[in-house]
Amino acid sequence: MGLKEEIDAIEEEIANTPYNKSTEAHIGRLKSKLAEKKEKLENQSSAGGGTGYSVEKHGDATVALVGFPSVGKSSLLNSLTNAESETGSYEFTTLDVNPGMLKHRGANIQMLDVPGLIEGAASGRGDGQQVLAVVRNADLIVFVLSVFEIDQYDRLQEELYDINIRVDREPPRVTVRPKIKDGIKITSSTEQELDEGTISDVLRDQGYVNADLNLQENVTIDRLIDGLMDNREYIPSITCVNKVDLIDPEYKETVDEQLRERDLDPEEVTFISAEVERGLDALKDRIWENLGLIRVYMNKPGRGIDWDEPLVIEQGSTVGEAIEKLGGEMEERFRFARVTGPSATHDEQQVGTDHVLEDEDVLKLILRR
């Protein structure tokens, strides 16, 4: 039996085993065996060559457009950015990843037009897996749905899950520290629904013989395995519904209902038309908001405040981190900074490197000569 068949067999057994207290340990073992086999398969296919698709990261953040063929990803990329990605009324017009740069609120946001999701992409059929792999490097996923095919959302989620992308999830609060003796010790800050035997079995299956495991959340088997693996990516997402120019206003209620069935709040979904350029400003704003970035305007000696090209950094960044991003010999020469804006108690507040900046602060660095 090949690896692929073994995986299918385990998946089938999991699907056919009812989940309850008496089967929990068994399912735990199956799931960790599955994780192990999938990892092996993944290593095999990446070792097996193939060009893969890699897109160098540029700009302040990277956003991946993910959707089925013909939903309008390339059209959207073209209307949001300077890119000219080919569009077409047939499926799979785009076959490799096209990047474009979206300039919004002073930030340069790299947008990737990922080719239409191919049936079974994640299980390594065709090139889909390699194509989808570029999504792993994104800071935000934008799901693109056609207004008539909201149900595709489910498949998109599954395909990403299968290539170890966890959408809209925080990393599990699981830490494991291998030791040289004394077996497996489990500590937990919350009550666990899995029993210790199951947890230890999963750990042993993942190769831990002696280890301290600390759990800060009530884990499921899947979350526990995710927490033990370091090849999972946790990426936030937003969803947009394209081609709204094609529907009658009354149909919107049906679409909303289909979104709600998938736990998507219609208020948080952006309705757009890439073709007639509707809803694009709202989408840009949502992209910005969900990237968790802030703008810091630099007040440069002799040149005044640069309002056009802010320094774009992660929310929660300190003055020290801003200096790091600026690079140069600024770090050694730093004496103190003056901040005006939302994070300051008063204009030109004098602060050190620990000061946490906020969106639209103005920052002046006082350096040694």
Ligand X SMILES: Nc1nc2c(ncn2[C@@H]2O[C@H](COP(=O)(O)OP(=O)(O)OP(=O)(O)O)[C@@H](O)[C@H]2O)c(=O)[nH]1
* Residue 197, number of CB atoms within 10 A of its CB: 11
Spatial separation of the C-alpha atoms in residues 96 and 238, rounded to whole Å: 22
Spatial separation of the C-alpha atoms in residues 41 and 48, rounded to whole Å: 10
> Does 275 participate in binding ligand X (rule CB under 6 A)?
yes
The residue within the footprint of ligand X, chosen from 45, 93, 290, 349 (CB under 6 A), is 93
Q: How far is CA 37 from CA 11, 79, 269, in A?
A: 11, 42, 37
Q: What is the largest CA-CA distance in the chain?
A: 73
Spatial separation of the C-alpha atoms in residues 32 and 329, rounded to whole Å: 49
Q: Which residue has the tokens 């994070």?
A: 343
Stretches 40-48, 89-97, 187-195, 257-265: which one binds ligand X (CB under 6 A)? Answer: 89-97
Q: How far is CA 227 from CA 110, 160, 221, 230, in A?
A: 29, 17, 10, 7
Give the shortest CB-101-to-Mg ion separation in angstroms: 17
Nearest Cα to Cα of residue 141 among 123, 163, 168, 164: 168
The residue within the footprint of ligand X, chosen from 18, 89, 304, 368 (CB under 6 A), is 89
Comparison of 43 and 254: residue with beta carbon closer to ligand X:
254
The residue within the footprint of ligand X, chosen from 32, 81, 87, 270 (CB under 6 A), is 87
Comparison of 224 and 240: residue with beta carbon closer to ligand X:
240
The residue within the footprint of ligand X, chosen from 31, 38, 73, 355 (CB under 6 A), is 73
Stretches 15-23, 92-100, 165-173, 292-300: which one binds ligand X (CB under 6 A)? Answer: 92-100
Residues that bind Mg ion (CB under 5 A): 74, 93-94
Amino acid at 144: V
Amino acid at 213: L
Which residues inside 26-65 make contact with ligand X, applying CB under 6 A? none
Choose the contact partner of 110 out of Mg ion, ligand X, none; CB within 5 to 8 A by kind: none
Which residues inside 104-123 make contact with ligand X, applying CB under 6 A? 115-116
Which residues inside 191-250 make contact with ligand X, applying CB under 6 A? 242-243, 245-246
Instruction: Name the burial class of residue 93, with classes exposed (0-12), middle (13-18) and buried (19+) by CB atoms within 10 angstroms of its CB.
Output: middle
Residue nearest ligand X, CB atom distance: 116
Give the shortest CB-56-to-ligand X separation in angstroms: 21
Give the shortest CB-122-to-ligand X separation in angstroms: 17
Amino acid at 30: L
Spatial separation of the C-alpha atoms in residues 29 and 32, rounded to whole Å: 5
Note the residues at the interface with ligand X (CB under 6 A): 67, 69-75, 87-89, 91-94, 115-116, 242-243, 245-246, 273-275
